[in-house]
Each structure stands twice: as C-alpha cells, then as structure tokens.
Amino acid sequence: MIIVLIGYMASGKTSIGKKLAKKLSYNFLDLDDFIEEKENMSVTDVFKQKGEIYFRKQEAYHLKSILKSENNTILSVGGGTPCYSGNMDLILETEKAECIYLKASLKTLVNKLMKKKATRPLIAHVETEEEMTEFIGKHLFERAQFYNQAEIKVSIDNKTKDEVVEDIVLKLF
C-alpha cells in the first residue's frame, strides 16, 4: 500500500509521515526531496532556474512512477501537488493508494508558519500575522476542493505528532 499524505505546508506531512512509516514498518518518501535528488538542486532553485511549469511536470512524472511502486510506502507530497497536472485524480485512481489529508485550521497554520517563515521561500516575504492569515486563507480556499477529495481526513489541531499517527492508524486499519 502507498499512503499519500497531503495538506498545506506545515501540516506535518513529512514529520508525521516519518513517524507513521516507522510505526507501520513502511518506507518513507518525501516527493520534494526525491525531486531535489533527481534534479541535483533544491526545489527553490528548480523554481528559480527552470520555472514552476518545469517543476510541476517533474512532480507529476515522479508521482506517477512512485505510485506504480510495489513497496509499502508513506509518501509526503508538496502542498500544491494535488492541485496540478491531474495529480489528485491520479492518487485517487491508484488502487493500492490511500490518500490522507492532514487538515489544520487557519489559526494553527498561521501560528506554525510565522515561526518557520525564514525557511519557507513561499512565505519569507510575509511580515505580519494579518498578512500571513490572508495569504494562507487564500491558498486554503483555492486548494480545499482538492484536499477535501482525500479518502481520509485527520485534524492535526491541538494534537501531538504521535496522536495524529494514532488517528491515522485507527482510520486506516
């Protein structure tokens, strides 16, 4: 089985994915890390040097190949991955894949991302909590139609990573 974790940035896709993989004895794969390895540069540099269209094509190509894998894998994808190139349809149509939306409230995301904005190029320019709320709110509105198609939705609000992992396991099995 391939368990695909989707959600907005800072929803815990990578950190929760690693804990879930360990608990289930699955492989863990972060799609952005995979692309960085293949491109031999950071996602930020791929965007800067080759453009978003190139990145989205690579993302869709690698997602397809990973979904064909026979290995039990937890796959963490970028926040925008489900929204482009028919990727969400591909995930949902893959028989051996389960899609899990790690859902966070706007307040939770703003709190987390205000602390991490220096390490996130997409939001590094955002200065105030008000601007961050507007930025994330707009994105969530645009992406909700994709995220909400996930077969399983798990709230991360006011939970530890271990509690979220337990929630996922209970809903999966």
Domain boundaries, the chain: 2-167
What pLDDT, on the 0 to 100 scale, is given for residue 12?
Answer: 95
pLDDT for res 40: 96
Collect all residues with Cβ–Cβ distance below 8 Å to 49 and sequence separation of at least 6.
Answer: 41
In the predicted structure, residue 71 carries a pLDDT above the cut 80: yes
Known binding residues for Mg(2+): 14
pLDDT beyond 90 at 164: yes
Let me know: does 84 contact 6? Beta carbons within 8 Å: no
Q: What are the backbone angles phi and psi of residue 46, rounded to the nearest 5°?
A: -60, -45
CA atoms within 13 A on the CB side of 55: 20
CA 125, CA 107: separation in Å to the nearest integer?
19
Helices and strands: H and E segment counts in the chain: 8, 5
Tell me how far apart the alpha carbons of residues 43 and 106 are, in angstroms, rounded to a whole number.
Answer: 25
Going by the annotation, the residues of the binding site for substrate are: 32, 56, 79, 143
Global pTM reads: 0.94
H or E stretch covering 3: strand 2-6
Binding residues for ATP: 10-15, 120
Could you tell me the pLDDT band of residue 30, with boundaries at 50, 70 and 90? Answer: very high
Contacts of 121 (CB under 8 A, 6+ apart): 44, 47
Binding residue numbers: 10-15, 32, 56, 79, 120, 143
CATH 3.40.50.300 fits 2-167, yes or no: yes
